[in-house]
Structures are given as C-alpha cells and as structure tokens.
Amino acid sequence: MPSNKSVSDAPIVQFTNCRILRDHQLQREDLWVREGKILNPEKLFFDEKGSADVQLDCKDSIIAPGFIDVQINGGFGVDFSLATDDFKSGIDLVSQKILSHGVTSFCPTLVTSPSSVYHQVLPQISVRNGGTHGAGILGVHLEGPFISKEKKGAHPEHCLRTFEAGAFQDLLATYGSLDCVQIVTLAPEMRRSSEVIQELTKRGICVSLGHSVANLSQAEEAVQHGATFITHLFNAMLPFHHRDPGIVGLLTSDRIPAGRRVFYGMISDGIHTNPAALRIAHRAHPKGLVLVTDAIAGMGLAPGRHTLGQQVVEIDGLNTYIAGTKTLSGSVATMDTCVRHFQEATGCSVETALEAASLHPAQLLGIEHKKGTLNYDSDADFLMLNDSLYVQATYIAGEEVWRQDVSGM
C-alpha cells in the first residue's frame, strides 16, 4: 500500500534498476522519493507499513545528486553583470537551460562592475528553489571589485576598488545589499581585508580568495579570519613557488583552523588549467576540489563576440579571450563537460568526479544536510547519467525537469 494516511498523503516513487551514489560509492540500491525529499524505505516499511505508488525502471542508469555550480557568469547570450531591462527573464533562461547540463542549483556570478550595476541587478535576483522552471538559485557570487590590479584578468580596471576608505561600509555601499549574496571573492593582501572577511563570515557569507597577489601567510591569515574558498585555483593568482607557494599553498597548509576545510574551485575545461596541474591539485587535496564552469554569456552559443560585464570577449571553440588579447575570460564549458574532463584527466573514480560537482560545493556552502547528497531527508535533486557520465535526465524535488531527447538522434 502507498503512504500511510496518518503520515502523508503524498505519492511515493521508487526508482529501481539503478546505481545510486551514496556514502561515496555507487551502490545497487533503489531510490525512494516522497514530497520532494529522499525517503528512507526501511522506515517506510516498518513504521508506516507503506510501499511505493509508482515504480520507475531506470535501465541501469547512475543516479547522482544534482550538480551545483558556484561560479557562472551567464550563458546563452545572457550576462549576469549587465543591467538590462529584461534581466529577470535572462536569469530565468539560464537557470532553465543549465538543467540539461545537470545543474540543479547555482550561484549567479557578477564580475567586477560599477556600483550602479550592483544596485540595479542585485535586487532582481532572489534565492529560490528550482523546479520545472529551472535550476534553484542559492545566492549570488560577487567576484570583485575588491581584487588586485595585477591579477584582474578579464575584469575592468576602472571599476576595481580597495578597502582603504571605509572597509566593510565601503563594501556595503558598493554592493547596495548583501541579502542574497552567498559568496564574495576578494584579494586578501589588501589592507583592512581581515575586518571585511570577519564581517562577511559573521553574516554567513562565504569568503573566497582570488584575483590576488597574496603570499601564503596573507592567504593563511585570511583563512584564519574566515575565508573558506579559492576562486579558480591557479588562475589570477601568483604561480606556485617552492619558497612561497602563495594561495596555492593553502591546499597543503598546516595553519588551517581545526575542523575547517579550504575548498578550491577548478575550471576543468582543458584550457584554464593544464591537466597535469589539475592532477597536482587533486592529489594534494582531493576533498577540497569544487568543479565550477565560470561560464560566460557565450556558453551555449556559436563562436564569435559576446559581452562579459564591461568587456567584449571573443569565443573560438572552447577558448574565450578578451577581444584582441590572449587573456582568458571565463569559459564556455558546461558543467557535465567539466565533470567528464575532470574524470578523464585525473583518472579518478566516477564517484569522485560526481562528488566534486555536487557534494563538495554543498559542503562549501554548508548545505550538505539538504543538497549535494542522496541521503535520507535530503532534497530530491538528482540526475540520471549513463556510464560515460552524460546526463540523461534531471530531477528537482523528485520531479523530472529535463530529459535527454532520444527521438532526434
């Protein structure tokens, strides 16, 4: 019999003939879902004397938690750092399209922009659950403008700022509001950055180090004040040096406060980082690796020119440069491509590759009790993939929100 009426009326779905990612392993188990959450079938059986209403045969697919992208600047022609009139429909479009890449939750990212852009754009983004309309929004990632001039990368120099004048008050004034902000990337070597990091951490905002020329001790100090993430490791920071590893040294630093873990984003599109460097980082600190796309507006579109905030970028294949230069600016890789490339380049297990895009970002944001895993009572955001890690179907809150079109092959 289905659900016990005294507990819940909602239908129970049992996904069978699948391998689910649980406890860091692919296990041959069924996945049970009720009311948008993963259900414990043993409790259902003994306590409620309930059983499934619907059984779905997954044809031996892999079922993994939905991917979480914490650094994505736009896509499909939409640029999150551009204050357009139809901004809301732009973000809706992206959140809908990335379902096919396996992303069920994301942090729309804004690159360094003039203060006016933040004031116009931020109020238009709200934290919301995903569904058939698109992937869920966990909060905004503000990458800049409090970053280093020397490592600005594709960010516009005239918009860069420091903490000299008013530190945290300055930051608040620049952004306008921190209501929906989940992550802030800043350069810790800037004066008064420690107080800012402390203020942000106090408000539950994840502080990330990036676009910086900090040395290792400056980076460690930042971590001690609350920083927990590194924005696209290796890119826009000092290269690893054996007498001063810089930010990269955080991966194996012994000055990390007890019980804390430093996470680091990696764009594994095969361009931003040489596979050998990817392997070095992964082997040094496998549990901290978070796959991000850093995708820009051109992702999903044909090669050519697109905008990235105040800049114009040029796309040629998988490479994206500031128009007329060789400076990399974001990527056009999709999350599932990154997962596959990561798995091939490092030779890691399927489980590790999948966790780098689901469990680790959830742990970074402190939401692993409800996202990023298939544990009982978690949100039922998951993917069906084949053995080559191509997404076949995407589910949010137990509902199918995207399926690979088999007909037009």
Partner 1 sequence: MKLIILENYSQASEWAAKYIRNRIVQFGPGPGRFFTLGLPTGLPRDHPESYHSFMWNNFFKHIDISPENVHILDGNAPDLQAECDAFEEKIKAAGGIELFVGGIGPDGHIAFNEPGSSLVSRTRVKTLAMDTILANARFFDGDLSKVPTMALTVGVGTVMDAREVMILITGAHKAFALYKAIEDGVNHMWTVSAFQQHPNTVFVCDEDATLELKVKTVKYFKGLMLVHNKLVEPLYSMKEMGTERSQSKKPYSD
Q: Summarize as ranges the residues that interact with partner 1 (CB under 8 A).
A: 1, 30, 41-42, 45-46, 48-51
- Check whether 235 is labelled as a binding-site residue: yes
- Check whether 329 is labelled as a binding-site residue: yes
- Check whether 302 is labelled as a binding-site residue: no
Rank residues 50 and 361 by Cβ distance to partner 1 and give the closer one. 50
Smallest separation, CB 50 to partner 1 (Å) = 7
Catalytic residue among 69, 269, 294, 379: 294
User: Position of tokens 């000299």?
Assistant: 164
Rank residues 63 and 278 by Cβ distance to partner 1 and give the closer one. 63
Smallest separation, CB 246 to partner 1 (Å) = 45
Q: Which residues contact 311 (CB under 8 A, 6 or more apart)?
A: 154, 156, 322, 323, 329
Smallest separation, CB 9 to partner 1 (Å) = 17
CB 281 within 8 A of CB 349: no
Distance of CA 319 to the CA centre of its chain: 20
Rank residues 45 and 390 by Cβ distance to partner 1 and give the closer one. 45
CB 238 within 8 A of CB 268: no
- HSE-CB for 262 with a 13 A CA cutoff: 30
Cα–Cα distance for residue pair 193/189, rounded to 1 Å: 7
Catalytic, 47? Answer no
Distance of CA 398 to the CA centre of its chain: 21
- HSE-CB for 71 with a 13 A CA cutoff: 30
CA angle 42, 48, 53 (to 5 degrees): 80
- Check whether 243 is labelled as a binding-site residue: yes
Q: Which residues pair with 379 in a beta bridge?
A: 37
- Check whether 330 is labelled as a binding-site residue: yes
Q: Phi-psi region for residue 13, left (φ > 0), alpha (ψ -120 to 50) or beta?
A: beta
- Check whether 236 is labelled as a binding-site residue: yes
3-state SS assignment for residue 125: coil
Rank residues 44 and 250 by Cβ distance to partner 1 and give the closer one. 44
Smallest separation, CB 45 to partner 1 (Å) = 5
Rank residues 55 and 126 by Cβ distance to partner 1 and give the closer one. 55
Smallest separation, CB 46 to partner 1 (Å) = 5
Q: What is the DSSP letter of 205?
A: P
Can you give the length of the chain in residues? Answer: 409
Give the residue numbers of the binding site for Zn(2+).
143, 211, 232
Catalytic residue numbers read: 294
Would you list which residues are annotated within the binding site for substrate? 154, 235-236, 243, 272, 328-330
Q: Which residues are annotated as a binding site?
A: 143, 154, 211, 232, 235-236, 243, 272, 328-330
